[in-house]
Amino acid sequence: MLPLSQRTLVFCPHPGCLQQYGILLNRLEVFHLSLCLNLGEVTAALRSGQHYHLFIYDKFSLSEDDFATLLRLSRNDAIQQFVLVGSFSEPERLELLEWAWHNRVPLLQILERPFSLAQLRMAITSLVDYGNAHVGGFRDGQPAFAMAKELSGMPGWPA
C-alpha cells in the first residue's frame, strides 16, 4: 500500500462515488485523502501546498475538455501520477495511453468502471515512489540523469 505519509486526491463529480472512494481507500490503508467534487475544489486543494502522489480522475471521458484538464493538471508539480477511471473500448484505451506518453502525462493506470477493490489495490501498489529521487541534484558526484542510465528495461520519452 501507499506509505502513510503519501497523499491521494480524488476528483469525481458524484458525491456518492466520493464517499465510496473514501471507504475503499481507507480499506487499502490510504488515509491522507482530498476528495473533490469539482475543479474548483481541486484547484483549492492544490493551492493548499500539499503534494499528491496520486490523483484519481473519475468519470474521465475522451472529450477535449477532459484532455485539456488532464494536461493542465499533469503540469502541476504538486501531482506525481494519475489513475483515470472511465468506460473505454480497447482502441480508446490504447489511444489514451499513447496520448499520455506523447504529452508526458504520468499516467499510472486506466481503470474500467465498475472496478473492484482488488483492481484499485493493484493500481495503488503500482505507484512509483519518487520520494527518494534526487531530481536535478547530484548523488555520488553524478548528475541525476546519469544515474538514470543504471536502470534497465525502462523506455525513454519520445523525442
Over residues 101-157, the pLDDT tens digits come to 999 999 999 999 888 888 888 888 877 766 555 444 444 444 444 434 443 444 444
At position 34, the amino acid (one-letter code) is: S
Q: Which three cell numbers stand for residue 126?
A: 503500482
Pairing of strands 52-57, 79-86: parallel
Q: Of the candidates 41, 46, 118, 109, which has an alpha carbon nearest to the alpha carbon of residue 77? A: 46
pTM of the full structure: 0.78
The end-to-end CA distance of the chain, in Å, is 34
Residue 84 in this model has a pLDDT that exceeds 90: yes
Over residues 26-69, the pLDDT tens digits come to 888 888 899 999 999 999 999 998 899 999 999 999 999 999 99
With beta carbons less than 8 A apart as the criterion, state whether 96 and 62 touch.
yes
Domain at 8-132: CATH code: 3.40.50.2300
Q: What is the phi/psi pair of residue 82, to 5°? A: -125, 145
